[in-house]
Structure 1
Amino acid sequence: MNMSGLFSALILLIIQGALAQRVRVDQEVVSYPGQTVTMRCQFPNPGGTQLTQVSWIFERTDAERTNIAVFHPNFGVNYPDRSPVAGRVRFITDPPTLENPSIQITDVKMTDEGRYICEYATYPSGNEQGVSSLVMLAKPKNTASTVTVAASETPVVVARCESSNGRPAATISWSTSLNGNVTTPIKTENPDNTVSIQSAYMLAPQPSDNGKDISCVVTHRTMTQPETFPMKLVVEYPPRVKIVGYENNWYRGQTSAYLTCQADGNPNPTTVTWKTLSGLMPETVQVQDTRLAVQKVDDVINTTFICEVKNSLGYGKDQVTIFVREPIQGPATGAIIAGILCVIILLALIATAIVIVRKRQRKNIDGPPTHKPPPPMKTYSYSERPSISKPVNDPQFMDYETEKAEPMTNLSAYHDDKDHHEPSRYSWEDKQTSYQDEDEGRMMGDEDDYYVTSSASRGSSFMSPAVVV
């Protein structure tokens, strides 16, 4: 029995669903405030079903239903005065028909959003209906701004973003590299049925966060693309101060030394004050706003300089202690390095030149000779040599070569193949006279001391004998 009951109920639901589909309506109608919308309704091909009356019902919520338009073929048209759309609703055709009882609503408002039911009273099946949803769209007004905050360790709201009077509610997101948090969006239902959304970004602001980028991104159904609001954070903090220009390298006699007071703050610093720990500023020091110019470094510069910077939130300061050193002896490090490099380059050039010269010499030695040999020399035999007198038993007298080569040709004649002049010769007497002048009485020519190596006559031999001294 239970299974039979469930089966019957299922069949009934299918039949009712099929009957409900006989009333044709638009499932969703979208409109903007101030426009005119059409709510369509038809009952095509009723067949054996008798249509007796059609009614339009506005359902804002499940618990609130109101008739806004009624048509009966015999009693005509009726528009209830208490309906939310009274005076703005009418049937499209006049007079209307049961087959096509569509309606129009002019000057629609955000409060007109809801479900519109086209209901037929029929016989014998009873009431049949179709439901259309009117969706009202309202483009929201979007804004975003940063909040000026003071640097702190406690998270505070640093930026806000709002999408007001939109329908449906907009979606807000944030784009930033900051390490903060997004608050839970606050949704507000407005009396005109629009929705406002508020979102905030929280951060424990630090001085380094000042000026960083943050963007609010709003997405809504009425916009073809998201709307982005780029911003920069505003974080206020007292001045941060640092003195630069001294790196423990000032020496006695140095000129044009400087100290610079670097400071940043928000709001911008208003005053910069230079002081010394001793209270007296050396006469050789000039104060030039954020810079301290030292005309000449001497022992009085051995002190502590203080730079103090103020803005509306407070002040910051930094100090540096100067130790004057003795003058640097010798060339500067840069000059030393340059000199070393020059020496290295010079040595490299010299080594390269030596290598090139040696290669050329080796090539000349190993290769074929590039000059012609000296001319052949003729030797004298013992019998052909002119005789000279020699003192008897003279120990100072030295024996010379037994044979003396005589050149067959002179050098110029030898090297020039086209020149056929007779080569020059000199006589034995000339040689004897020369030796006598040079040795002051020393005489040549001991016939007994000559060792004859060859008896070849002039032109018979071209071999040069060994020389014995």
Structure 2
Amino acid sequence: MARHDARNWIGLFCLVSSILTDHGVMGQRVKVEPEVLSYPGQTVNLRCAFTDATGIQLTMVTWIYEPKEGERINIAVLHPSFEPNYPLSPMKGRVSFSPSPPDLASPSIQISNVRMTDEGKYVCEYATYPIGNEQGITNLIMLAKPQNSASVVTVEAGTKPVVVARCESVDGRPAAKISWVTAATGNGTVVSKAGNDNTVTVSSEYRMIPTPADNGKDISCVVAHRTQAKPESFPLKLAVQYAPQVTIVGYDNNWYVGRTNVVLTCQATGNPVPISILWNTMSGVMPDTVQIKGNELKVLKVDEAVNTTFVCEVKNRIGTSRDQVTAIVREPSVNPSNAGVVAGAVIGSLLALLLVAALICVLVTRSRRQQQGYRANGGSDMKTRIFGGGKKASKNGTSGGAGSGGVGGGNNNGPIYVYNESSSHQGIGEKNNHHQPLTMGGRPEVVTTTPTAQDILLSSELDEAERRKFDELEEEERYDHFGGGGPILQLRPHNDQEDMIGDYDDDMESHRDGSVISRTEVYV
């Protein structure tokens, strides 16, 4: 039983498929354009053809108009045995077969001066034998290019949504599509209504809660329509009116007594543009040193009278707004211009100190170079210098006259400074005439040591008078002023003293007092 039912269903499916296939094949025999576009006033061609009439007799062709609303109407009939016929219809007088004379195999028609009401379906229907009627359907779409426009609506800032811009597409076919592009927060509404001659008018409004910050923002209405190659855009700017917004700038919280030419500026924005700016004070009394010009208040010289609150009041058609700033007058501060003078003085002082330091360095260097002249040649010899008019000592160290053992004439009361180069750690000492006797060759001797000229100059034990005395003595030695009253002192290296023994007579020198003293030895 189940198997029998399955067979019945399969047979039914095959029959339906066969019927649909035959119908589709036959339906494709009538060739038409699925869609035709036209504008009002133009002439439109609606083509139709029977592609394969083999074994089929074409009896008659009828064109039928099927509006969107209403009944079907025959507008053109073609029979091989009769003349073309155009029944009564809205297209009568404007419709005809083309080309002429007409042919059943290609019975196309044309409609001149088309109207917007001509839009709808047009059916090309064949009466044939033996397969019956065959047809093809063409949609005639009437196009009307709309008139597009957009505008802003001037509004006042508030708290409720209002219409701030409008956009409209008038008498278009088909209906246009409108959209909004903006950074403002809101939404658009769209309304469509039928126009004349089967056209459509589309209107859109953009609504939002306007604020002062929205004034001047960009907003664009974009209209898209089938008759346009690309959407049409209308850029606009929102117009939001609001009371002035006021701000006073220029106060730096550093108004001190005596400061001059400080300026306060009253900055105000508003829509419409402010018509008046008024400066005042909270006390109602404007200081005498204040000068007002437009939105600027200039204080020529700050004094105690400026220690007040300044008010700027701005007005436009929407309302009045104000701002205020309280000036606090301080004690006079250091003139910033003195900073340059102070800096210059400091820099000048530093330069002067550097110059003095450089001069000292030069003098010290020069002094050291001069002191080099006081050094004697040799590495470890004992060098002596006696200040005053004392006599030279003999080679054997005995004091007195030439070769005598006693103390000779002359002044031997000056201090004797002793320095030994071979022992640099030995200090500088001062010896009076109380000498310590030493034995040299069986006879008592007095040995004294003195520092070099450099050590004497660097020693803190010498005062300025001694240095001058030393310089005078050195000058006498340098130029050998033998005509002086005191004895002439001469320093010789130790190795030269040994050679002097053979030339005793040449080494001796006579003095004014009649005594003869060795040049190389100093007698104490």
Q: Shared fold by TM > 0.5?
A: yes
Aligned to 1:181: 186
Counting only pairs closer than 5 Å after superposition, residues 229-308 of structure 1 correspond to structure 2 as 229-308=234-313
Paired residues, number: 399
Based on CA coordinates, which of the two structures has the bigger radius of gyration? 2
Q: What is the aligned partner in structure 2 of residue 328 from structure 1?
A: 333
Of the candidates 433, 441, 464, which is equivalent to residue 486 of structure 2?
Answer: 441
Which letter does structure 1 place at the counterpart of 2:407?
Answer: N
1:389 and 1:446 in contact (8 A); partners too: no
Tell me, in whole angstroms, the C-alpha distance in 2 between the residues paired with 1:95 and 1:435.
161
* Corresponding residue for residue 16 of structure 1: 23
For the residue of structure 2 that corresponds to 1:119, the secondary structure is strand
Contact 1:243 1:318 in 2 (8 A): yes
Whole-Å Cα distance in 2 between the matches of residues 231 and 444 of structure 1? Answer: 116
Contact 1:41/1:102, CA 8 A, preserved across alignment = yes
Match status 1:166 vs 2:169? no
Give the match for residue 410 of structure 1: none
Q: Does 1:30 align with 2:37?
A: yes
The 8 Å contact of residues 389 and 444 in structure 1, kept in 2 or not, is answered as no
Alignment of 1:94-133 (within 5 A): 94-133=100-139
Structure 1 residue 234: Cα displacement = 0.3
| 1:24 partner letter | K
Please point out which of 369, 393, 408 is paired with 2:407: 393
Contact 2:120 2:139 in 1 (8 A): yes
* CA drift at 1:165: 1.7
Equivalent positions of 1:220-235 (< 5 A) are: 220-235=225-240
User: How do 1:73-152 residues align onto structure 2 when only pairs under 5 Å count?
Assistant: 73-81=80-88, 83-152=89-158
Shift of 1:34: 1.0
Q: Which amino acid aligns with 1:229?
A: F
Partner of 1:407: none
SS state at 2:251 partner: coil
| C-alpha displacement of 1:172 | 2.1
For residue 107 of structure 1, report the CA deviation from its aligned partner: 0.8
Amino acid at match of 2:127: A
Question: Cα distance 1:248–1:62, how it changes in 2: closer, same or farther (>3 A)?
Answer: same
Distance 1:167 1:444, change over 3 A: closer
1:315 is displaced (CA, Å) by: 0.4
Measured in 2, the distance between the counterparts of 1:25 and 1:308 equals: 78
Q: Which runs of no fewer than 5 residues in structure 1 stay unpaired? A: 358-375, 402-429, 459-466
**Contact 1:265-1:311 within 8 A present in 2 as well:** yes
Mapped to 2, the partners of 1:71 and 1:20 lie a distance apart of 20
Secondary structure, in 3 states, of the residue corresponding to 1:309? Answer: strand
Which of residues 65, 77, 80 in structure 2 aligns to 1:70? Answer: 77
Cα-Cα RMSD: 4.0
Equivalent position of 1:339 in the other structure: 343
* Distance in 2, Cα, partners of 1:196 & 1:431: 131
Q: CA deviation at 1:162?
A: 1.6
Secondary structure of residue in 2 paired with 1:6: helix
Runs of 4+ residues over 6 Å off in structure 1: 398-401, 430-433, 455-458
* Partner Cα distance (1:203, 1:343) in 2: 68
